[in-house]
Amino acid sequence: DWLLELNTGDEAKRKAASLLSQVFKFAMKRDYCNANPAALADRPSAPDKQPTFCPPPRMVEGIRAALFEAKRPRDAYFISVMAYAGLRPGEARILTWDDWTNDSLIVTAPKTSDWRPVKLLEPLAADLGEWRKQAKTEVMFPGERIPMWTDSAYNNWEKRVWKDFQPMPGVTPYQLRHAFVSLLLRDPAYNRMEVARMA
C-alpha cells in the first residue's frame, strides 16, 4: 500500500522498495523484527532495456580508413584498441608500451586500479607493431600537447575529432568495445566467461 501511494515514477519506487528491504534484512539480523515485509511487496517491473548498439567491423574499418586518410594515425590506432581489444576510452588513453606484449595487453581500469589481461587479435597485434615504430613516447596514445590525455583533452577530442569521423549520430567511442565482444562471442575458441573476463 505504501509503494502504491508513493507519488513518484516506477524507478524511484523500485529503489525505495529495495532500500527498505535492506533495512528490514538488517533489522532481522539484529532481532529487531522477525520478517521482511518489503521482500513480499509487488514492485513495478523494470522497463525493457534498449538493445546495445554493436558497431560492425565494416563501420570500424570505415572510421579507421578515414582517419588514416586524414593523416591521423594515432586516432586510427586508438579506435583499433577500443574496437578490437574491448577497451573503454579511459583505459585506452592511459596505455603505455609496457602494457603490451606481442599477444596481449594488460589493461588497468582508472577508477578502480583493477587490471585484466586481454588477448590480442592478430590484426590488432600487427597494428600495434606498426604504430610502435612511429610513436615517440612511453604512452601508447599520447595527447597532442602533453604525454597523457587529461579528461578535458579527451572530451575535446570527442567533440572535435570523433564528431567529424563518427559513422552515424549517436554512436560513441565507448560503444566500439561492443564490436570486440561480438567478434569473440562468434568465435568457438572463446567461451562466454573468457569474453566477460577480457571485457
> Averaged over 33-37, what is the pLDDT?
90
Q: Residue range 73-91: average pLDDT?
A: 93
pLDDT tier, 63 (very low <50, low <70, confident <90, very high otherwise): very high
For residues 61-73, give the mean pLDDT. Answer: 93
The pLDDT confidence band at residue 87, using thresholds 50, 70 and 90, is: very high
The Cα–Cα gap between 184 and 171 comes to 21
Helix axes 177-185, 73-85, angle to 10 degrees: 40
- Among 53-57, 113-117, 126-130, 149-153, the range with the most confident prediction by mean pLDDT is 126-130
Residue 69: its pLDDT value, please? 95
Instruction: For residue 79, name the pLDDT band (cuts at 50, 70, 90).
Output: very high
Please, which residues bridge with residue 115 across strands? 108
Least confident stretch, 12-21, 80-89, 186-195: 186-195
* 140-181 residue pLDDT tens: 988 776 677 888 888 989 998 898 888 777 889 999 988 888
pLDDT at 11: 84
Look at residues 85, 72, 36 and name the one whose alpha carbon lies nearest to residue 157: 72
Q: What is the pLDDT of residue 68?
A: 94
Instruction: Look at residue 67 in the predicted model and tell me its pLDDT.
Output: 94
Average per-residue pLDDT in the chain?
86
